[in-house]
Structure formats: structure tokens, C-alpha cells
Amino acid sequence: MRTLTGDMRVTEQTIQTLSGAALAGLACPRCGKGKLFQGFLTLRPGCDVCGLDYGFADAGDGPAVFIMFFAGFVVVGAALVTEIVYRPPYWVHAALWLPLILIVTLGPLRPMKGLLIALQFHHKAAEGRLTGREP
């Protein structure tokens, strides 16, 4: 454990559970106090509170893929049930499902990206390297 300022103590591993990672998804994965994002999905260069460099973080397309699977299941399932039971005109489908698609895709995208970054920090995830081989 290292002391940064006065009474603030920061350890290298503050997230102990998945629920802790989910709660820390929008804050610094080390201290839980600094902001993680500077835009909707743009990461800050580092934590303003503890100084953690966010250069290690690379969530890639993971958050979008998980959310697309979830959103597809919810929206397509609801649209199929609605079509079979009520048989509404196409404009009703558009009025129902376009807003739902926006809500279930854009809403959880930022927290999911934060969660994956927090889990990368917690598990010390890094790029794969081949060791023991000589060219």
C-alpha cells in the first residue's frame, strides 16, 4: 500500500468482486474516485486523483458485442411476440422498436466499457506475448 496525499491510501488491487468492478466501471479502477471518461466513450489519459495511466486499457469491440447480443435478443424477441400476437402495421413496429433499440444499446455501452476496463485492471490483463522462442 502506498500513501499518495494526506489520508488517501491507494492499493494496486482495490476491486475485489465483480459487483465492485461494476460499481467502479465509471470511475478509476484503482482508487474509485477519479473519472474514467472525458466524453461519451473517450477515456481520459489518466486518473486525476491517483495518477493511474489508462494506457493499459483496451476494451476494443467487447462492450459493443456483448450489448448487441443482449439488445438483439430483447428487441427481436419482443418484436416477434408483438407481431404474432397483435399483427400491428409496420409503422407501429418502427415507433416501438427504434426507441427501444437506442435505449438498450446506447444506455449500457458506457458502463459496459468501464466494467471491461476495470476487469482488465483487476486481472492485470495484457497483450499476449510469446516467450522462450528465438527468431
Q: What is the pLDDT of residues 11-66, one digit of tens each?
A: 455 556 656 656 657 888 888 888 889 999 999 999 999 999 999 888 889 999 99
Distant-in-sequence, close-in-space partners of 31: CB < 8 Å, separation ≥ 6: 8, 10, 14, 47, 49, 50, 52
Report yes or no on 73 lying in a domain.
yes
Classify residue 131: in a domain, yes or no.
no
Residue 20: inside a domain = yes
In the predicted model, is pLDDT for residue 75 greater than 90? yes
3-class SS of residue 63: helix
Whether 118 and 15 have beta carbons less than 8 Å apart is answered as yes
Give the tens place of pLDDT for each residue, 84-131: 999 999 999 999 999 999 999 999 999 899 989 988 888 888 888 777
Q: Report if residue 107 sits inside a domain.
A: yes
pTM for this prediction:
0.78
- Helix pair angle (90-106, 62-86), 10° resolution: 150
**Inside any domain, residue 134:** no
Residue 47 lies in a domain: yes
pLDDT category of residue 1 using cuts at 50, 70 and 90 = very low
Is 44 a domain residue?
A: yes
**Domain tally, the chain:** 1
**133 within some domain:** no
> 10 has which bridge partners?
2
Determine the structural domain holding residue 27 and report its residue range. Answer: 2-122
